A and B are shown apart, each in its own frame.
Chain A
Amino acid sequence: MAAIDITAARKSYGSVDVLHGVDLAIGDGEFVVLVGPSGCGKSTLLRMIAGLEEISSGEIAIGGRRVNDLPPKDRDIAMVFQSYALYPHMTVAQNMSYSLKLRRTPKERITAAITAAAGKLGLDELTERRPKALSGGQRQRVAMGRAIVRSPKAFLFDEPLSNLDARLREQMRVEIKRLHKDLGATSIYVTHDQIEAMTLADRIVAMNGGVVQQVGSPLDLYDRPANLFVAGFIGSPAMNMIPAVYRFADGAAVAEVEGGHRLPLAGPFPVPDGTTVVIGVRPEHVTVAAPGAGGRRADVSLVEPTGFGSILHLAPFGPPIKAFTLDRGLGRDGAAVDVTFDPARLHVFAAADGRRMDPAP
């Protein structure tokens, strides 16, 4: 177990920069999730930590030791691949013991480690099988078993659940979380699935275009996204983005949206009157009620029932927005609802650079 420190890490292929200087300190035993759309550089960063990609500049240290020039095997990390990368001609037990054998671990220790890992992952019955004879979920488990038998300093996961179906993914997600609780090992987990990121992480690193957008706890990112990218990426259904103009008059801050409608905001913002902004509001924070409750009247143009609740498509003032409600009675096509917004739940972003703005103290 060890801390991992990344300082100004860059990666370029020829003249193309794919990582523009990443700084990240990962604490001992922390579960960090790198999340972002494909091509954002998250896998590249993980592979740089593993030693599978060269570090163009900057420094990566594992357990206080600079590893830039160390080959993967000397970094004492274990990695779980999206494709599992199991050795097809070896049995489950051989797959798991391969790294220990190469490290000349005594036989009894190997057997003990494999028995323990197989027990933990529910693979006891399968140790003599070859990967070909296993299901996707079982292969995934073997890949994790291969990682944990070594008790490495850190676990690296490269989209390990992407090849599984939705139900299995949910199940494995829980298992990974439980495993991390048991082992307490430093883990770095790459995914493009924001739900995986939210549910697993101690801390999320949201990346886009080779740049870290925000680092923080899952709820941090959810409640206080640092910019429009994070706001749009985290959360499903995605946050509504409404273009508006910031107005401050008579001691009250408002956002003027299309058609001159005004949404009250929480407190004055440190920007001049007339600044163009983007108002972000999560669907579950759009309050809808039966007509007559007050607020802006809107017609429901489409309903997406999720069982748990319904997603209503509305256009209370021009641009279409989504609202999430638990009240099934409201979820009828063509029905009218009254829409209100809680000023405290509105996120304000500068339209110019997409950065979050907070009310002046």
Chain B
Amino acid sequence: MTAPVAARRRPFLSRLADASEPWLYTAPALILIVAVMLVPLVLGISYAFRDIKLLNPFGGGFVGLRHFEALATDEAFRTALVNTLWWTGASVVFQFVFGLILALLLNQPFRGRAVAQALCFLPWAVPSFLTGLDWAWLFNPVIGPLPHWFVALGLMDTPQSILSDPDLAMWGPIIANVWWGIPFFAITLLAALQAIPKDLYEAAAIDGAGPIERFRSITLPFLAPTIAITILLRTVWISNFADLIVVMTNGGPADRTQIVASYIFTTAFRRLDFGYASAIALVLLVLLLAYSMLIVLLRQSLLKRG
């Protein structure tokens, strides 16, 4: 019980040095984080409550919740929200399913596997804008082959771009996104697959499990944590991912492919209304945070079980 007494007697400067020591050590990292992450975030959030239009240099005043009130009745925003669900859901599901199939195939031993793996991961290296342009051209009936193939297959009456068909337009960017995003799932799932001990499959084979049962009772439980975290990442990523849509359809025709992210982009950089765009972004942020929390909780429970 003598230690506190001794501490009280020490000079103020020495105690200050002791107390500030951990902060001084972490200061470089903290300053960096605050400067590049927190400041822009707070600034962005503050925009949501201010009237910031680039075309109105005398604006910038505090407007309270006016942007959010406008948002509540904004039909375009509601459409974009529904489209975002559609775009994100379809993209993630197809990317995951094809990525898993690809990973399972690449996990089998065969000749030239290394080359096949490298080739399969190639789309990931293609810049997203280039991907968008590529696919827009592929869907273009004048220079692209796809519409003609659709006609030949009897899926279409006359060769036309699905990007200009209001009912099908969303599938254009989704297909491009799936092509572009499969490697992400394939790489991460393949890594997880390769971490599963081979003995387990052999033990299961001797225990009497067929291929489907082995997949269900060994592969899936081992992959579950990876699946949860990759789906979380991709969902957040894709719902924020406007590149393909901006390049391929620019939200059209008639807002049928407008997602929240592309709506934010359009509002900010075409209509130059940064205040309103920030308000939309804030809503998207809250939605994605809620979603992330859910998945993190799910993953925790999965890991605890495993």
Rounded to whole angstroms, the CA-CA distance of A88 and B203 in the bound complex is 12
Complex interface residues of chain B between 168 and 208 (CB less than 8 A to chain A):
197, 199-200, 202-208
Q: Mark A89-131, 1 if CB is under 8 A from B, else 0.
A: 1000000001100110000000000000000000000000000
Q: Mark A256-267, 1 if CB is under 8 A from B, else 0.
A: 000000000000
* Contact, CB under 8 Å: A99 / B208: yes
* B218 adjacent to chain A (CB < 8 Å): yes
CB neighbours (8 Å) of B205 from chain A are 51-52, 71-73
Most buried by A among B203, B208, B221, B305: B203
Interface band, chain B: 10 to 19
* A81 adjacent to chain B (CB < 8 Å): yes
CB neighbours (8 Å) of A50 from chain B are 202, 206
Min CB distance B226 to A, Å, is 14
Q: Mark A39-69, 1 if CB is under 8 A from B, else 0.
A: 0000000000011100000000000000000
CB neighbours (8 Å) of B154 from chain A are none
* Contact, CB under 8 Å: A78 / B206: yes
Min CB distance B106 to A, Å, is 22
* Contact, CB under 8 Å: B306 / A102: no
Interface band, chain A: 20 to 34
Rounded to whole angstroms, the CA-CA distance of A60 and B207 in the bound complex is 20
Rounded to whole angstroms, the CA-CA distance of A85 and B200 in the bound complex is 5
Min CB distance B289 to A, Å, is 30
* A229 adjacent to chain B (CB < 8 Å): no
* B134 adjacent to chain A (CB < 8 Å): no
Rounded to whole angstroms, the CA-CA distance of A95 and B34 in the bound complex is 50
Number of A-B contacts (CB under 8 A): 57
Given contacts A89-B221, A89-B305, are A102 and B209 in contact (CB under 8 A)?
yes
CB neighbours (8 Å) of A77 from chain B are 206
* A2 adjacent to chain B (CB < 8 Å): no
CB neighbours (8 Å) of A103 from chain B are 208
Rounded to whole angstroms, the CA-CA distance of A81 and B197 in the bound complex is 12
CB neighbours (8 Å) of B202 from chain A are 50, 52, 72, 79, 81, 85
CB neighbours (8 Å) of A83 from chain B are 197, 199
Rounded to whole angstroms, the CA-CA distance of A72 and B200 in the bound complex is 14
| Nearest CB in chain B to that of A147: its residue | B206
Min CB distance A239 to B, Å, is 36
CB neighbours (8 Å) of A222 from chain B are none
* Contact, CB under 8 Å: A72 / B218: no
| Nearest CB in chain A to that of B224: its residue | A89
CB neighbours (8 Å) of B206 from chain A are 50-52, 72-73, 77-79, 99
Min CB distance A205 to B, Å, is 22
* B157 adjacent to chain A (CB < 8 Å): no
* Contact, CB under 8 Å: A73 / B306: no
Rounded to whole angstroms, the CA-CA distance of A42 and B305 in the bound complex is 37
* A87 adjacent to chain B (CB < 8 Å): yes
* B213 adjacent to chain A (CB < 8 Å): yes
What are 13 A-B contacts defined by CB distance under 8 Å? Answer: A52-B202, A73-B208, A73-B210, A79-B203, A81-B199, A81-B202, A83-B197, A85-B200, A87-B217, A88-B221, A89-B306, A102-B207, A103-B208
Spell out A's residues near B (CB within 8 Å).
50-52, 71-73, 77-79, 81, 83, 85, 87-89, 98-99, 102-103, 146
Give 15 new A-B contacts, CB below 8 A, not counting A50-B202, A99-B206.
A50-B206, A52-B202, A71-B205, A77-B206, A78-B206, A79-B203, A83-B197, A85-B200, A87-B200, A87-B204, A89-B305, A99-B207, A102-B208, A103-B208, A146-B207
